[in-house]
Amino acid sequence: MVKQFGYELEFHDASLDLLAEKYQLQKYKKEVQVPYTHYFLKEEVPLTKHIYLRGKNLSYGGEFISPILRDYEQCLKDLQFYLKILKDEGAVVQRNSWITPFHIHLDRTFLYSREKIEKLLKFLYAFQPEIYELAKGEFDKIRENIFVDFKPLCGEIIEQYLQTENEHFFHFKGSCILLDDQTLELRYFNASLQLNVLETYFQFAFHLRDYIINEQSDQELLEYFYQKALNNGDTLILSRKREKIMRQILQLEKKK
């Protein structure tokens, strides 16, 4: 099975027009539907209007979007090239900014059953604080709009969702993830122009996918941590012990 993926990287302080012209990248308006067959730039409405943050005019900026990808090693080579382009043109991601996320899309074919979706949601809820910690990247907190537009996963909502019997079970919106007909979109991450930070995000996403696929994974262990999270009533805080367990479950090495 070919494992397809893609990503979106938002930035500001670099002109989309100059980037598009100088590096022969196509530029689209935010509302335009595009074929994901090439790298391109897209206007991000909050970034192209008059927004001020820390006294700085952020009217320049947008979103750098990948095509549908299948080769991770080539993706990293391309990404390294395009990150240099963005930095050369003055692009930045604001420290602790709410307007510059990094999103990863995974082909949703691995979520082919109710059991797989349930496993995904339970994992994301059980280890929610630890995922937020990873999603900070090089900064010291996650984006503020995580708690505005994409509220933390709610145990009560998940429990209600898992009891539904209709076709809408295979779609899930909000809470830092979007599950539609084609992809699972992980929206947790702070943007970065550092390749090693983005690699960490990719590795989390890919190891999460492999864990969901793996029929031999310890379901009882996941259920234990999920029920423990439910019993805490959505008030879990970061636990370094639980973070270590999460990484062990995903077979995810912590970069030094």
CB 55, CB 38: distance < 8 Å? no
Residue 106 to residues 20, 140, 172, 185, 239: CA-CA distances in angstroms?
26, 26, 14, 6, 27
Any residues with CB less than 8 A from the CB of 224 and at least 6 apart, and which?
none
One pLDDT digit (tens) per residue for the chain, 256 residues? 458 999 999 998 888 888 998 888 999 988 788 888 999 999 876 655 554 444 455 557 889 999 999 999 999 999 999 999 999 998 988 765 566 889 999 999 999 888 999 899 899 989 988 998 899 898 877 765 554 444 567 777 778 877 877 766 777 766 688 888 889 999 889 999 999 999 999 999 999 999 999 999 899 999 999 999 888 866 668 888 999 999 999 998 765 5
CA distance linking residue 136 with residue 189, whole number of Å: 6
Structural domain spans, the chain: 1-92, 110-183+193-256
- Following CA atoms 236, 237, 239, 243 in sequence, which dihedral angle do they give, to the nearest 10 degrees? 70
Q: Are strands 56-57 and 61-65 parallel, antiparallel or unpaired?
A: unpaired
This prediction has a pTM of: 0.89
Predicted pLDDT at 148: 43
Q: Residue 180 — φ and ψ, nearest 5°?
A: -120, -160
Per-residue b/e over 130-168, b at no fewer than 16 CB within 10 Å?
bbbbbbbbebeebbeebeeebebbebebbeeeeeeeeee
